[in-house]
Amino acid sequence: MNRDEMLQQIQERFELHLQITPFSVKLLPAEPEPETKPRNKESSQLDQASAQDLADIENALEAKG
């Protein structure tokens, strides 16, 4: 029995069960996906040092140019 046959058999059993006892199964809508917000990451010391080095290099290039 492959996957498709198994799913078909489960679906048939479910429909038969609903016909026999219609109030035994309560169908609910899917819950919506929660909204994701971007994470505010604090800059690390390495990030701050890299930003400072980049600013120093840019200032040096402007001074030469």
Give pLDDT, residue 10.
93
Give pLDDT, residue 16.
92
Name the domain count of the chain.
Answer: 1
Give pLDDT, residue 13.
93
Give pLDDT, residue 2.
93
- Assess if residue 14 is contained within a domain: yes
Q: Say how far apart CA 60 and CA 54 lie, in whole Å.
A: 10
Give pLDDT, residue 64.
85
Q: Say how far apart CA 11 and CA 37 lie, in whole Å.
A: 38
Q: Say how far apart CA 50 and CA 58 lie, in whole Å.
A: 12
- Assess if residue 18 is contained within a domain: yes
Q: 16-30 in b/e burial notation, b at 16+ Cβ within 10 A?
A: eeeeeeeeeeeeeee
- Assess if residue 56 is contained within a domain: no
65: number of CA atoms within 13 Å, CB side? 6
Give pLDDT, residue 12.
95
The residues of the chain scoring below 50 in pLDDT are none
